[in-house]
């Protein structure tokens, strides 16, 4: 649990809740949504079409992590889910699960390194 929390903090997340007896951590971070180039492109297309431009402005990324003892009691199973709420320039929100494999792979790579270093007092 400690290694998981440290990795999330290293990735810029703020821990919202932590319940060690249940093996639960929730965290979040705020980020800008969309790039400037995307926004400009959307505005140009909207102007050409004579409509109002709708583009993403801000997002809040949420993490839910659950850790349980493995069946052989020699280790732990860790499950994590990343999701986000995205607000557009009209302050409308949508929620979506983040399914980018790279985000999950990067998290578990960093967690493996952290557990290894901690286990070997490095």
Three-class SS of residue 7? Answer: helix
Task: Name the residue among 119, 109, 121, 122 with its Cα closest to residue 7.
Answer: 109
How many domains does the chain divide into?
1
Q: What is the pLDDT, as a whole number, of residue 35?
A: 73
- Can you give the CATH number for the domain in which 15 is found? 3.30.530
Which DSSP state fits 71?
Answer: T
Residue 75's pLDDT is 83
Structure tokens that stand for 109 in this block: 């790579």
**What's the domain range around 21?**
2-119
Q: Kindly report the pTM of this predicted structure.
A: 0.81
Rounded-to-5 percentages of helix, strand, coil across the chain: 35, 40, 25
pLDDT along the chain (122 residues), means of 10: 93 95 95 78 79 89 94 87 96 96 96 85 74
Tell me which DSSP letter residue 37 carries.
Answer: H
| pLDDT (0 to 100) of residue 107 | 96
């Amino acid at each position: 649990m400690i290694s998981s929390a440290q990795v999330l903090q290293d990735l810029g997340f703020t821990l919202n809740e932590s319940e060690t007896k249940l093996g639960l951590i929730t965290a979040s971070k705020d980020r800008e949504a969309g790039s400037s180039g995307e926004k400009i492109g959307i505005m140009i297309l909207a102007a050409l079409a004579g409509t109002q431009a709708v583009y993403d402005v801000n997002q809040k990324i949420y993490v839910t992590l659950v850790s349980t003892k493995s069946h052989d009691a020699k280790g732990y199973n860790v499950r994590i889910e990343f999701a986000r709420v995205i607000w557009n320039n009209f302050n409308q929100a949508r929620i979506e699960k983040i399914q980018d494999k790279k985000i999950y792979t990067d998290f578990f790579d960093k967690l493996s390194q952290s557990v290894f270093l901690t286990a070997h007092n490095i």
